[in-house]
Amino acid sequence: MASLKSLAKETVIYGLSSIVGRFLNYLLVPLYTWKISAESGGYGVVTNVYAYVALLLVLLTYGMETTFFRFANKEGEDPNRVYSTVLTSVGATSLTFFLLVLVFLRPVSSLMGYPDHPEYIWTMAAVVALDAFQCIPFAYLRYKKRPLKFVALKMLFIVLNIALNLVYFLVVGGSDVRYIFYINLVCTGLITFCFYSELRPLRFGFDGALLRRMLSYAWPILVLGIAGILNQTADKILFPYLYSGADAKMQLGIYGSASKIAMIMAMITQAFRYAYEPFVFGQSKEKNSKAMYAKAMKYFLVFTLLAYLVVVAYLDVLKYFIGPSYWSGLRVVPIVMAAEIMMGIYFNLSFWYKLIDRTIWGAWFSGAGCAVLLLVNIVFVPRYGYIACAWGGVAGYGTAMLLSYVVGQRHYPIDYPVGEMLAYALLAALLFALMTVGRAHLSVVASLAVNTAAVALFALLVIKRELKRNKEVKPKE
């Protein structure tokens, strides 16, 4: 239980930079969607460009975050030498990427659909190169259990980004999307200078033989990461090419802005991931580690289901986070959140193959999920628009989740409380259906009252059940 309490404590601390940080960034969503109309397609440009950024960040870190944790905790390896080798490698590849983009700026801009705006592309390239480099010092802070500096730097970036955006859009009165990218670059560059002390371990040198061993471990994680991020971004990258209407950027902006409301699931998953990844590798030598993983999975699902119901319950209030011209996209919110829950479960399941150094399995699972997502998008987006993008995420993550569970139980069996988890999911589904019916037939005030009661009922039933179960288990322990 002490280990679970430590995990919970670190999840809360890291969650300050993830949940609070993203909530503060939500202040930018109404700013953008009120100052940039849906009809202009400007927010569609932002959605499209940042989808490329997310994909490129995975490519430029190529699994080295997880690899760093694995080798830094491995017997016989020097953690400082592991860190300096990883940092040197990622730094060199990031710099090379940025220089190549500058050399081929015009053709790359045209290929991405922005021949008249190469500034979008070089700015994006600089931001993603710096972000990739920063990922390693941030991982080092997690390894050293220094969450306060981690949170401080993340929050500093967010505060600077918000402040400069507010100045440009409200004080200056601008509405040009290129300045969103310029501001991001300025803030990212400033944060890089805050890692002076984390660069000192570079004196431990670069080990080519060690790097080759790490790359052997990392490449399946890279493939997994590419497939995983494509599950999140492929729809936003491909939509302008698949959608036949002339208003592709407008429709993408509507989908992207509505999806922001659903991103509470991504916040929770990210906060959990920051603490859970080092926790899993640190606990792998303990006798009761599998029982801990099973409990963590159940509590993760319960918390995300509660968050799901809260967002659905108050969607009539949360919709004001985006401008009225984007409200037509609100129907995707429950679908996107369901996909995010599946992604979180898949992430929790994924550690079995990382712990036995068989990361190739992750590549297969994520690849299969990505293939399903791409197929759904290619077949249905031309006909149904962005609603197909949302369902593609459910299909993709659902496929990867089920494959990882089935195969994992054969190679690294963990006694997950599947029955309890399914019961909680079914309860949440029934309450969701109740909320949906209430929203269709009741006034907004009455609907909110019914939804509040439904959320409270879910929380009370879960608490009652878990307290009863803990009383039953304690005597046996």
Positions in the chain short of pLDDT 50: 477
> Cα angle vertex 408, ends 353, 67, to 5°?
10
Q: What is the pLDDT of residue 22?
A: 62
Instruction: Give the pLDDT confidence of 298-313 residue by residue, as tens digits.
Output: 888 888 899 899 999 9
DSSP H or E run through 105? helix 105-111
Q: What is the pLDDT of residue 445?
A: 93
| Burial of residue 80 (number of CB atoms within 10 Å: 0-12, 13-18, 19+) | middle
Q: What is the pLDDT of residue 474?
A: 56
Instruction: Give the pLDDT confidence of 220-278 residue by residue, as tens digits.
Output: 788 777 877 887 789 999 998 899 887 888 999 999 999 888 877 777 666 666 666 55
Chain mean pLDDT for the chain: 85
- Per-domain residue ranges of the chain: 2-416
Cα–Cα dist 340/304, whole Å: 9
Q: Is-contact 67 218, C-beta < 8 A?
A: yes
Task: Supply 284's token pair.
Answer: 């792998």
Instruction: Give the pLDDT confidence of 387-430 residue by residue, as tens digits.
Output: 999 999 999 999 999 999 999 888 888 888 899 999 999 999 99
Q: What is the pTM of this model?
A: 0.78
Cα–Cα dist 327/34, whole Å: 12
Q: State whether residue 128 is helix, strand or coil.
A: helix
